[in-house]
Amino acid sequence: MIIALMSDSHDHIWNIRKALEIIRNRGGEAIIHCGDFVAPFMLKELDQAEIPVHGVFGNNDGDKFLLTKFSLTTLTNITLHGIVGRLEFSGFRIAFTHYEEVAEGLAATRQYDLVCFGHSHQTYLERVENTVLLNPGEIMGKDGSPGFYILDTSEMKYEHVSL
């Protein structure tokens, strides 16, 4: 399965469009977003990719009510999981959050194959026993080169993609 892992888009509509084009061209089957969409129009952009998107809230997602309302009423491909998301794809267990401290705690449980987080805008990949702890960096490009990760679960290959 091809899963895109991203975070911290912060309303950067042009970079999210670039990322979605790459994800579609690479056969992406799901997108995990680790928070800081910021405005509801970003969810609309993600929804138009017609790929299931699973997201959590970050510290800059101001109107959580409106984001949630759109995800439940208008948009068909967006699922918001609150502060922590948990998914399983063909036995591959993933947890995701916005905050590193929460992610470290989730990884320490050894219940997940992958734990993702955002917030710092810095890419990070480390193995914690049987769990990969990953920050995909930022889509926005504020603190460095914008990008995200693509995970191929069939090969267990993590690839950073720069925008």
Q: Looking at residue 137, what is its pLDDT?
A: 97
**What is the secondary structure of 99-157 as a DSSP string?**
-HHHHHHHHHTT--SEEE--SS--EEEEEETTEEEEEE--SS-SSS--EEEEEETTTTE
Judge whether 115 and 134 are in contact, CB under 8 Å: yes
CATH class of 2-162: alpha beta
Q: Looking at residue 62, what is its pLDDT?
A: 83
CA distances from residue 20 to 101, 104, 114, 139 in whole angstroms, order as listed: 28, 28, 22, 11
Q: Specify the pairing of strand 2-6 against strand 147-152.
A: antiparallel
**What is the domain partition of the chain in residue ranges?**
2-162
Q: Please state the φ and ψ torsions of residue 96, each to the nearest 5 degrees.
A: -150, 150
CA distances from residue 119 to 66, 73, 85, 155 in whole angstroms, order as listed: 21, 27, 15, 28
Q: Looking at residue 143, what is its pLDDT?
A: 85
- What the block records as the tokens of 144 is 């460095």
Burial per residue of 64-78, b for 16 or more beta-carbon CB atoms within 10 angstroms, e otherwise: eeebbebbeeebebb
Could you read off the pLDDT tens digit of each residue along the chain, which spans 163 residues? Answer: 999 999 999 999 999 999 999 999 999 999 999 999 999 999 999 999 999 999 999 999 989 999 999 999 999 999 999 999 999 999 999 999 999 999 999 999 999 999 999 999 999 999 989 999 999 999 999 888 999 999 999 999 999 999 9
Q: Sign of dihedral through CA atoms 75, 115, 126, 35? A: positive
Q: Kindly report the CA angle at 122 between 117 and 127, in degrees rounded to 5?
A: 55
